[in-house]
């Protein structure tokens, strides 16, 4: 599914996506939606059960101002 289709279908939700195509800046262009929810903790719970995929967590609405993001590599946790 193209990114614009994901945004339209899952508006204002958190989505867990297996990326099929990203641009040179690693921006998602196309992927398969694995899970979606208004509650981001549901998405993180699903993520913990998955390994070995090119996974993205994206929010399809306006990013909340109080949101902080921490990225780490699987080997580091």
Task: For residue range 20-56, list pLDDT tens digits in order.
Answer: 999 998 899 999 999 999 999 999 999 988 877 789 9
| 74 or 9, greater pLDDT | 9
pLDDT recorded at residue 62: 86
The total number of structural domains that make up the chain: 1
**Confidence at residue 37, expressed as pLDDT on a 0 to 100 scale:** 97
Strands (E) across the chain are located at 14-22, 28-37, 55-59
pTM score, whole prediction: 0.80
Domain that holds residue 59: 3-76
pLDDT computed for residue 23 by the predictor: 93
Of 7, 55, 10, 9, the C-alpha closest to 37 is 10
CA distance 59 to 24: 20
The reported pLDDT for the residue numbered 76 is 47
């Amino acid at each position: 599914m193209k990114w614009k289709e994901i945004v339209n279908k899952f508006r204002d939700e958190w989505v867990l996506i297996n990326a099929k195509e990203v641009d040179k800046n690693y921006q998602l262009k196309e992927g398969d939606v694995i899970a979606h929810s208004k509650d981001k903790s549901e998405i993180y719970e699903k993520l913990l059960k998955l390994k070995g995929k090119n996974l993205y967590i994206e929010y399809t609405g306006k990013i909340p101002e109080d949101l902080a993001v921490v990225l780490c590599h699987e080997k580091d946790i």
